[in-house]
Amino acid sequence: MSGWSAPTALLPVSARYAGGLWLLGSVQFILLGLALTLAAYPGHSILNGHISDLGSSHSPFALFFNRSIELLGVMGALGVLLVRGALAPGRASRLGLGLLFLASAAAVAVGLFPEDFPGAGPTIHALASASVFVGAALALLLVSRAIRHDRRWAGLPSPTALTGVVMLLATGVYVVGFTPYVGSGGMESLIVAPLLLWLLGVGSRLARTPPFAPRPLLST
């Protein structure tokens, strides 16, 4: 088997916990932050609206969206810290995980500062959203490079790189504003959906890391 379905072996046990955090974080955001909030906001258009609208003061369940994306960011950042020992040392892994951590922190800021937050809130929200989109995309490209020759991650380099490429392309199209078929909201969804799918896939795979896998050595 390859890709998402292949159980990972010989990785640190901490990678198992990282996978669990990414899996649970993405699932709770999909169910609470997106599905539930969308169901309670019948006037929202997935194609012409924005995902951030779900956390604005006009959204009946804004609290669920904002707290859910904050939780996703916290669990994502903790997962990055736990998965470090599962990647071979190198510039690509350091930069990739660093960017993924920053993107996770930016997701927390998205929830703390909704798009219509008073004062500098809209600016902070826009910068945080851009950091999530671009930071996560570049992070996955770097991570795919870091794991491409690591047999412990067999089957994952290509999906990881593809996710990063799709996110970057969708972000570019979104920024340019050329969205005649899917609308700005639909294009924004094409940025977020691949990232959530990657978190679900990699998270579920890492979560099945054998419990007897070697633990990482503590640096001195």
**In the predicted model, is pLDDT for residue 73 greater than 60?**
yes
Number of structural domains in the chain:
1
Quick one: pLDDT at residue 216?
47
Mean pLDDT of 61-74: 96
Quick one: pLDDT at residue 1?
44
Closest CA to 20 of 203, 202, 160: 203
Q: Which domain holds residue 92?
A: 10-207
| 5 lies in some domain | no
Could you report the per-residue pLDDT of 193-214, keeping only the tens digit for each?
999 999 999 999 999 877 655 5
Counting residues of the chain whose pLDDT is more than 90, the rounded percentage is 70
Quick one: pLDDT at residue 44?
85
pLDDT band at 151 (very low <50, low <70, confident <90, very high): confident
The three state secondary structure string of the chain is CCHHHCCCCCCCHHHHHHHHHHHHHHHHHHHHHHHHHHHCCCCCCCCCCCHHHHHCCCCCCHHHHHHHHHHHHHHHHHHHHHHHHHCCCCHHHHHHHHHHHHHHHHHHHHHHCCCCCCCCHHHHHHHHHHHHHHHHHHHHHHHHHHHCCCHHHCCCHHHHHHHHHHHHHHHHHHHHCCCCCCHHHHHHHHHHHHHHHHHHHHHHHHHCCCCCCCCCCCCC
Query: What whole-number distance in Å separates Cα of residue 136 and Cα of residue 99?
Result: 7
Could you report the per-residue pLDDT of 113-150, keeping only the tens digit for each?
999 999 888 999 999 999 999 999 999 999 999 999 88
Could you report the per-residue pLDDT of 7-17, keeping only the tens digit for each?
555 788 899 99
The answer to whether residues 205 and 8 touch, using CB atoms and an 8 Å cutoff, is yes
| 151 lies in some domain | yes
| 125 lies in some domain | yes
| 148 lies in some domain | yes
| 213 lies in some domain | no
